[in-house]
A and B are shown apart, each in its own frame.
Chain A
């Protein structure tokens, strides 16, 4: 009996407080917008975390700052401009497109075009250079022997398309 009572007493606080969990943020919608913005901003203290995930004091201050500016009705761009004017482009994980970042932003696509172009050019060139089934050099012959071995090996499955 006594144990039951103790057990019930233990359960008491559970019942006393039971309810729906409340969001940590006062305004979950605004919080979501703040986190969305902060994810693309770099924390300056622990420099490889975003402002959204960092636990540093400065990151907390900056999140508060962003939240307050959002409450004041500033747009995302205005808030970003505010932070850039204080910390420089360094805070942006998404670097702006400008002259010094052209290589960064366009480089990969220039390389892609160049790579694709070179590949097509090389394929065409070597096709015209190689005479049909003529294996003159000793080296190519050796290679071909080995290749034939693979291709015609009895252990090798018949490729339906080959």
Chain B
């Protein structure tokens, strides 16, 4: 009964989405307030129904209803409850429902937090989002219904893929999807502005916080995914340039460009058509990611089971949504005005140059990811594009990007003089260079790549200190001046600091990591990176739905115990899949990472053990955390909260 309620809720939600996609847009076009005003109630209704559908599926999982095909395929009665809940989005159909539910949530949020916007704009924005929702609900109901019954019911489920039975994977997909789906708000604002023909700085101001929030979610989602890969896959890598990772990286890069481009558009009313194009591109790339993951056109470790019918559906959906928006863009963009004046040397120009670099970076990820497909389609044979390509292309793009990142926040709006700016930053550059050249000497072998990485990182840090000094330094009340700075100023600095911390992590871990692959008898010790690892053997332990061989490794440094690590080798009961659970001791200066290989045949308790020492690896995620925090600070800026009051004031003043 419950699954049928869920199915029915989805059908009604589709109907409401259809109304939401049609009525308010017609209303806005015909100046019909009655039609326009249907947008909010429809948005609320749709959200309620999607929430019901989502809860129904969650209930089916928690209640072990194996008469639901999707539940039977992705759960098991032995599965811990938390993973039963996260199994809702552990497969294709359910993750699609999560996507639709989150989209409903974003639509609701826009409906609630848009009271200060003109009714016509709200009607169009919600209408466009409604149309997107129609596409996903149709897709789900026609090709991927999560509520399909399995009759007779299975005695027990096939279990959730053990790789996904992990806390990281409980939150990674919702976060990432919040980001993907969140870009639909910026997209809807852009389309609404194109439809209405009123594309001005106010539009940029309205869509800016939404874009930033989506970007923050996406940053968090990607970082959690990368962190999960690091501790779960067992060989200590954190980014593999896999097509699915790239599919999330592309909208992130374009989203980053969009945030910066919106700044120029809001401030100067300039490059509006470019900003609109980026807003369309960010969401289009989110949709493209869905296509790549779910259609089976590319091989990936993460992709869902491929089904050509689904592929055709998503592709048609892509063509309709993206094709129509780009045509609308081609039609309306030429009429967009130029905006305010600024010089070739200005903060605006620096922001736009970064836009060019970010777009080119996105394009190169795009080319690299899809090149095998292009070659195959043209009959030039198969080839692979992997990490060496992306690394070779990325480094030359990142260097100028980071150099400008340091200058951007220091440069004047409208116009700056190069000699003056150069004079201001000369000490910052000199100190960054000095640290970059000397620091590697204290850590081990000196190499040009490490020095370059550190130069970039310390350049950001040095210019940040310079900027803070210029704004907060001098005589008088420091606290007052510190409070006087806007939150978005601090947001920028924190996010940029995050990039610096990230670069330090990447540079040092790839430069100075130690890896040992050894055979360890019980009691054997291993000297690596100044630590002594002692293998104390393996015991069998029972997990809720697996049996594990749990190793005990004690680590000491100069004879003093540091920590104990318990790497596991698990065997899941239902799937029989072996899983390596690495044990990691996380530290400010780096991680000790131990994972169990296989028992050595013919020995008494000896195992193959892999030991990694990963200096500064956590700085990678600390960096992304700071980037996200910067975004949060920027959104909290009172400018956006102010807006609501001033608009109401203006409206109140107008009505008097």
Contacts and interface: CB of A to CB of B under 8 A. Distances in A.
Nearest to B396: A109
Contacts of B608: 24
Contacts of B269: 140, 143-144, 147
A130 B338 contact: yes
B208 to A, nearest CB: 12
A156 B242 CA distance: 44
B275 to A, nearest CB: 13
B246 to A, nearest CB: 11
Given A47-B299, A129-B338, A162-B413, A17 B521 contact: yes
B602 to A, nearest CB: 14
Given A23-B517, A24-B608, A94-B389, A108 B344 contact: no
B152 interface: no
Contact of B519 (A16, A23, A126): A23
Contact of A21 (B337, B382, B535): B535
A157 B480 CA distance: 11
B235 A143 contact: no
B356 A108 contact: no
A160 B202 CA distance: 25
A157 B381 contact: no
Nearest to A99: B380
A146 interface: yes
Given A23-B519, A108-B360, A132 B339 contact: no
B397 A112 contact: yes
Given A21-B525, A130-B338, A88 B382 contact: yes
Contact of B360 (A48, A112, A126): A112
A92 B267 CA distance: 47
Given A119-B356, A147-B267, A104 B371 contact: yes
A69 interface: no
A120 B608 CA distance: 58
A108 B361 CA distance: 8
A82 interface: no
A111 interface: yes
Contact of A104 (B361, B368, B517, B604): B368
Interface string A134-157: 000101101110110110010111
Contacts of B525: 18-21
Interface in B378-401: 380-389, 392-393, 396-397
B269 to A, nearest CB: 4
A76 interface: no
B340 A144 contact: yes
Contacts of A156: 486, 639
A15 B518 CA distance: 19
Interface string A109-126: 101100110111001101
Contacts of A23: 516-519
B471 interface: yes
Nearest to B341: A130
Interface string B294-314: 000001110000000000000
Contacts of A7: none
Interface in B461-520: 470-471, 484-486, 489, 516-520
A119 B271 CA distance: 10
Name the interface size band of chain A. 35 or more
Given A21-B518, A157-B485, A127 B383 contact: no
B384 A42 contact: yes
B270 interface: yes
B318 interface: no
A85 B457 CA distance: 43
Contacts of B352: 119, 123
A48 B299 contact: yes
A124 B339 contact: no
B81 interface: no
B337 A140 contact: yes
B489 A103 contact: no
B201 A95 contact: no
B522 interface: yes
A131 to B, nearest CB: 8
A101 B359 contact: no
Contacts of B300: 48
Contacts of B364: 107-108, 111
Contact of B642 (A143, A155, A161): A155
B80 interface: no
Interface string B260-300: 00000011111000000000000000000000000000011
The residue among B343, B383, B412 with the most chain A CB atoms within 10 A of its own CB is: B383
A156 B344 CA distance: 25
Interface string A51-87: 0010000000000000000000000000000000000
Contact of A53 (B235, B268, B367, B526): B235
A15 B368 CA distance: 54
Contacts of B270: 126
Nearest to B199: A139
Nearest to B201: A143
B360 A13 contact: no
Interface in B215-240: 235, 237, 240
A13 B364 CA distance: 57
A120 B345 CA distance: 10
Contact of B524 (A19, A31, A48, A100): A19
Given A13-B604, A21-B518, A104-B371, A127 B343 contact: yes
A91 B381 CA distance: 12
Nearest to B642: A155
Closest 5 CB pairs of A and B: A93-B386, A94-B388, A108-B364, A18-B523, A143-B269
15 contacts: A17-B522, A19-B523, A19-B524, A21-B521, A47-B299, A93-B386, A94-B386, A94-B388, A94-B392, A112-B357, A115-B357, A127-B341, A127-B342, A127-B343, A139-B198
Interface of A: 13-25, 31, 39-40, 42, 46-50, 53, 88-95, 100-101, 103-105, 107-109, 111-112, 115-116, 118-120, 123-124, 126-127, 129-130, 132-133, 137, 139-140, 142-144, 146-147, 149-150, 153, 155-162
